Chains A and B, each alone.
Chain A
């Protein structure tokens, strides 16, 4: 086992971007204490830092680096969202005019982001667990960050309790993994050796461990049966934090999932039966996720809660990529899907934050009449929701199409999974209904008396425009980002 010790798996130099991000977080924390700059400045500084960090993470020669880049980009966008959301933050933290205590959030976001980046480099369960806990622990604090807001406190507590449950499962899985294999390293060679050597008793324990690890990943990714925390926490958390949880944290979940599954997937040609078990297990989870997320979303009236269910539903489509277990393009497809999801979801949260700040409500009905009062902004929001629903010519359509394509490919060697198809179809169809609820509110409902046009903050306008352009551009260039299979 000497060749799998930590010193061989990792080098210090690999983690420079993460160290830099943490250092920036500490610097901001210090500056917040000892200087009198307006707190919003730190959000911008942190956002710039996150983008630079994301750039360097991508250059590391690393298979899962894309997840880290997505996380960094999301963190930067979330920080910008926090910048625009400052007024509500002041009211919900210090109560009223003081902006004391608003800047720690920026540090926490950076630290969580560094955790996700670390996570992408994990090759063994220890590193995986530690970096995942970095993300999770900072997320607990962030979810309950608006301490004058009851919903936020509730979200923090619920997240903490359910998170503890999932962490428990993950650690339990790690223990079983070590117990059956004698190592913490996740590596195709080791697993292959194990498969050829061990009897079925060990094998059951081994699968139990992998199942438990997967459940830990499902919690972060928001997949059934561990999706249960999502609606309440998204609804209660401060909107920028909800956006972070919805995108960056989900990316972390899928990074963990990929790190666990891909070594197995490599072994599919050699052990089709043994690896196929995992594929069918994931297919069951995908079906449940699609069902719970998409159908649960139908009767929601709160925009943030709607996006919570939507995040579950989209996770179902991402899980489908993992059922195509023999594919070499899984990570590519998953990250593409995450990019599409990020562009649309972040834009949607920006819109919610803007409506919440100016109309005081997060209900879908607060979007009423935006098509009349703010036609341009309404159009940009439409693009975001259309992409989530999967309207052709948006990137959201394309990645959903990839998901179906992956399924069709999976059918060619494990036709027993065909029962998953109706779930996908129902999920995709239901999406049109609940995402279009927002559009209906914007275009079909008339503005009520006293509804004035929203003032669109510069940052929000820029991000909405950028996301809309990216969604349409990527959506109309199908050849540019074809899966490399």
Chain B
């Protein structure tokens, strides 16, 4: 019995979501309390397990077998409680809990249905837990779709706003594109590895043809491209910022978008690094690098505080994916873990600022906030320091780990990483200088005041984590990777290069923006900056080129075939024919008793003849 305690991670949020939805849809306070309590309970349980409490292996539950005989792959639900999973759970439940608490303050006075909001958060916690604790790929896929669903619900929480409803759809559909590849990858895995269970995949890679392995890994990677918003499917993440800010912090910064990285590392561990062929690795690392560079460039010219952070998330995810492609799963998870804390901090800080500026998100309409809400701003600055990798902050250690790995494997990726680091420093410094210093440039910013306690508390806790989580004494026991050991850093090429990037970024930002002395962006107006603002026209190409083309020509052709062939001849024709035939059969049932008796007797004769005549030949 006790060994099944980890199932609570899954069941508690699920049950709470159901109760919130079905019973307390009119009592937002109760719903919020229940959801927050469930997040706290799962966090507590997670901490207990990490402290060394052991309850044995949880039972797994087999739903059905894929074949008749035993030993064939089955569809089952089981929990993995190895360090990779449990420490990832700490990130998920820890940030989840803080976001729940923050949400209570953030959503106060919002006119939308808060029960729906908290039920959505709980269903997300359930789905994310499903991905993290899954012991097989089929279960991962279910969680994968469920997080997509909950992210859809939460992005579209303010669905009366058209942009929010569109963003929710965009996120869902874009993810479906990646999931399609993922599903093919899962089926390929089943075909070549003969199992979906992570525990049973090991050691089989050596016997499989490299081309097949490459295809399998790349298909699986498609799932990560969608969920972790890698180029070319990155377009949904910036739009997802239409959702409430705590949601952006939890789902679109710390946990769900990192699920792609988590899944790839999980596969790397269970399939063995041999499964990741050189071609597959090159593809993965290149996609990551492209995403990191493009997103960092786009972030340079964004004015919306949440969008800057969104692009920075994209760019950091690109870093992690690059590390996965360099077979440095340890570094990827290290960065995932530090990034989760400081990016959640940045988003929640941004959320507090947005609320206090009367829902103003444009940094050019802020200014002077460091005087009005100093604590919030300090917390935000802690997060920024971690993100731009100032030595001593958590982000510095993990970024250094990735750069080390890149230099060892392939120097090109090292220099790409260094360039992105400089860009990151530049755009974050721009954001801080413009929004926090100088004087208020709009009415909202002028009236801003310090955030309330339910918002400040999570910010303070996350600030602490943003600073200390990178040091060995914390990281060694918390980084989601078995046997992780933070080896600090050495003075060497990576260190000097990243210090150089930091200095370049900071100096450039200061030279251009000063301490809040500008009222508009001096870089704006030229062709390059317009292109960056318009996201390098990628979204436009998708909208007009791809979607427009597909809808106007391809879909129309399919519709024609569908109408004439499938619906006309296939469906209506068959239905007409069968309906007529059925009517014919009911002619016997006209109600005349004599006819009944005759039909039954004739039928009986035919039946008897069939049975008895067969014996004539014996």
Contact = CB atoms under 8 A, between A and B. Distances in A.
Interface in A299-314: 299-300
B76 to A, nearest CB: 10
A295 interface: yes
A179 interface: no
Interface in B549-594: 575, 578-579, 581-583, 585-586, 588-589, 591, 593
A411 B213 CA distance: 37
B596 interface: yes
Interface string B586-617: 10110101001101111110111011101110
A166 B586 CA distance: 21
Contacts of B582: 294-299, 430
A270 interface: no
A273 B618 contact: yes
A478 B68 CA distance: 13
A211 interface: yes
Contacts of B608: 208, 211-212, 215
A200 B616 contact: yes
Nearest to A206: B615
Nearest to B601: A165
A285 B607 contact: yes
Contacts of B63: 478-479
B586 A162 contact: no
Contacts of B615: 200, 203-204, 207, 274, 277
A187 interface: no
Interface stretch (A79-87, A225-233, A354-362): A225-233
By size class, the interface of chain A is 35 or more
B111 interface: no
A278 interface: yes
Contact of A210 (B597, B601, B611): B611
Contacts of A58: none
A383 B618 CA distance: 50
Contacts of B64: 478-479
A400 interface: no
B62 interface: yes
Does more than half of chain A's interface fall in helix, strand or loop, or is it mixed? helix
B616 A162 contact: no
A426 B614 CA distance: 28
A104 to B, nearest CB: 26
A297 B586 CA distance: 9
Contact of A158 (B578, B593, B606, B612): B593
Nearest to A477: B63
Contacts of A226: 600, 603-604
Contacts of B603: 224-226, 228, 288
A433 interface: yes
Interface in A454-479: 478-479
B604 A169 contact: yes
A231 B585 CA distance: 12
Contacts of A208: 608, 611-612
A281 B610 contact: yes
Nearest to A173: B608
B610 A228 contact: no
Given A162-B597, A212-B608, A274 B583 contact: no
Nearest to B596: A228
Contacts of A181: none
A326 interface: no
Nearest to B61: A479
Nearest to A203: B615
A277 B614 contact: yes
B591 A232 contact: yes
Contacts of B596: 158, 162, 228-229, 232
Given A158-B593, A277-B614, A215 B607 contact: yes
A207 B599 contact: no
Contact of A204 (B591, B606, B616): B616
A210 B603 CA distance: 16
Contacts of A291: 585
Given A200-B615, A207-B611, A479-B63, A296 B586 contact: yes
Given A158-B596, A430-B578, A281 B611 contact: yes
Interface string B165-189: 0000000000000000000000000
Given A162-B596, A225-B600, A225-B604, A296 B618 contact: no
A165 B597 contact: yes
B611 A277 contact: yes
A420 interface: no
Contacts of B606: 225
Contacts of A426: 578
B601 to A, nearest CB: 7
Nearest to B65: A479
B612 A298 contact: no
Contacts of B586: 296, 299-300
A211 B611 contact: yes
Contacts of A277: 611, 614-615
A292 interface: yes
* Among A229, A231, A277, A478: residue with most chain B CB under 10 A: A277
B470 to A, nearest CB: 46
Contacts of A165: 597, 600-601
A215 B605 CA distance: 10
A284 interface: yes
Nearest to A229: B596
A207 B593 contact: no
A295 B585 contact: yes
A319 to B, nearest CB: 12
B614 A211 contact: no
Given A158-B596, A204-B615, A479-B62, A296 B607 contact: no
Given A165-B597, A207-B611, A200 B618 contact: yes
B583 A433 contact: no
Contacts of A157: 593
Contacts of A9: none
B616 A161 contact: no
A366 B585 CA distance: 26
7 contacts: A157-B593, A161-B593, A204-B616, A211-B607, A215-B608, A225-B604, A225-B606
Given A203-B615, A211-B608, 20 more contacts: A158-B596, A161-B593, A200-B616, A200-B618, A204-B615, A207-B612, A208-B611, A211-B611, A211-B612, A212-B608, A228-B599, A281-B610, A284-B610, A292-B585, A295-B578, A295-B581, A296-B585, A298-B579, A298-B583, A478-B63
Would you list the 7 A-B pairs with minimal beta carbon distance, nearest first?
A225-B603, A295-B582, A211-B611, A298-B582, A277-B614, A281-B611, A211-B608
